[in-house]
């Protein structure tokens, strides 16, 4: 197997290749003066299985389109098999037509990814709500990995927590709160969230007992920071001793980073699925393990 990446995940690509002791194939990716992208594979990939690592953060359309060109370049250079690794997978929100006339973005993006010649897909803590199994959404084999145990291990090792309790800001986050709580040997609970618009949400406390506790607040992603900031304010009001905010994908648009601390967080911890000032936990090992296990399994089959 050969590892390569698009411009969204260059450093992560290097780390995965290093973990797996594999070659990281070089790409020339630039723009024509009119803004069009240009992609060229610089190493031989003939007859090889190639894992392409590319996240879809902040400018998802650009990184997605770049992925299509990378696959075309690899296929044109006779790569045998393409394994896509999308550490942060955008376009998962619109997995239904909520209002008449809306695009069903998730389905369209999946169709495009498959149609360019992707043989297998890996994502990490994908924003799966109504679609619970990514394997059912794709026609090619697709797997959703989780970085939550690694995040929880990092928190346990690096932050002093006396009496931790894990909280998720909404119903969907229960899956991640449960996993983090197991790792931290603590209880977990969730808050009640109502989304009023893409920017506005309302969070209500449940029967919370966080007085004097070190709260670890966990979610899949921080975009505007609205969800976690509201949750942090409530937790602080209820008398928490400290608050660690954590997520897999620190998308952090606009002033989200400041917003989290202004709301009362003591720490913010995330991974490098999206490069950010709080990407303390690398998902390189997680990706390398998954690819290695799959390679071994395919050899056995």
User: Residues in contact with ligand R5P, total (CB under 6 A)?
Assistant: 14
Return the residues of window 214-233 that contact ligand R5P according to CB under 6 A: 219-227
Taking the least distance from each CB to ligand R5P, the nearer of 19 and 219 is: 219
Whether 193 is catalytic: yes
Per-position DSSP letters for the chain, written without gaps between them: -EEEE-GGGHHHHHHHHHHHT--B--EEEEE-TTS-EEEEE-S--TT-EEEEE----SSHHHHHHHHHHHHHHHHHTT-SEEEEEESS--S-S--S--STT---HHHHHHHHHHHTT--EEEEES---SS---HHHH-SS-EEEE--HHHHHHHHHHHS--SSEEEEESSGGGHHHHHHHHHHHT-EEEE-EEEE-SSS-EEEE--S---TT-EEEEEEEEESSSHHHHHHHHHHHHTT-SEEEEEEEEE---TTHHHHHHHTT-SEEE-BTTS--TT--B--HHHHHHHHHHHHHHHHH-
What is the smallest separation between the CB atom of 259 and ligand R5P, expressed in angstroms?
Answer: 9
Taking the least distance from each CB to ligand R5P, the nearer of 55 and 227 is: 227
What is the smallest separation between the CB atom of 224 and ligand R5P, expressed in angstroms?
Answer: 3
172 part of the interface to ligand R5P, by CB under 6 A: yes
Active-site pick, 21, 153, 178, 193: 193
The interface mask with ligand R5P, positions 42-81, x = CB under 6 A, is ----------------------------------------
Return the residues of window 110-139 that contact ligand R5P according to CB under 6 A: none
- The residues that touch ligand R5P, with contacts defined as CB under 6 A, are 169-170, 172-173, 201, 219-227
The catalytic residue positions are 193
């Amino acid at each position: 197997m050969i590892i390569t990446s698009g411009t969204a995940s260059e450093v992560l690509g290097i780390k995965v290749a290093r973990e797996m002791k594999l070659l990281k194939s070089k790409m020339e990716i630039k723009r024509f003066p009119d803004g069009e992208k240009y992609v060229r594979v610089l190493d031989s990939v003939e007859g090889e299985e190639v894992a392409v690592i590319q996240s879809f953060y902040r400018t998802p359309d650009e990184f997605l389109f770049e992925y299509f060109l990378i696959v075309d370049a690899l296929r044109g250079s006779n790569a045998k098999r393409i394994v896509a690794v999308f550490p942060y997978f955008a376009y998962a929100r619109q997995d239904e037509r909520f209002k008449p006339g809306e695009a069903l973005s998730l389905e369209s993006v999946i169709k495009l990814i498959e149609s360019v010649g992707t043989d297998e897909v890996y994502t990490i803590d994908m924003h799966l709500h109504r679609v619970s199994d990514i394997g059912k959404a794709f026609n090619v084999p697709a797997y959703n990995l989780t970085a939550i145990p690694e995040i929880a291990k990092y928190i346990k090792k690096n932050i002093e927590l006396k009496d931790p309790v894990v909280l998720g800001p909404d119903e969907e986050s229960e899956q991640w709160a449960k996993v983090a709580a197991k790792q931290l040997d603590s209880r977990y609970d969730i808050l009640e969230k109502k989304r009023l618009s893409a920017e506005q949400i309302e969070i209500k406390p449940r029967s919370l007992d966080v007085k004097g506790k070190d709260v670890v607040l966990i979610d899949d992603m921080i975009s505007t920071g609205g969800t976690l900031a509201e949750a942090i304010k409530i937790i602080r009001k209820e008398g928490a001793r400290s608050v660690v905010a954590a997520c897999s994908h620190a998308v952090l648009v606009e002033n989200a980073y400041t917003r989290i601390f202004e709301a009362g967080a003591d720490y913010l911890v995330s991974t490098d699925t999206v490069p950010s000032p709080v990407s303390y936990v690398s998902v390189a090992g997680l990706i390398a393990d998954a690819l290695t296990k799959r390679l071994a399994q395919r050899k056995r089959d």
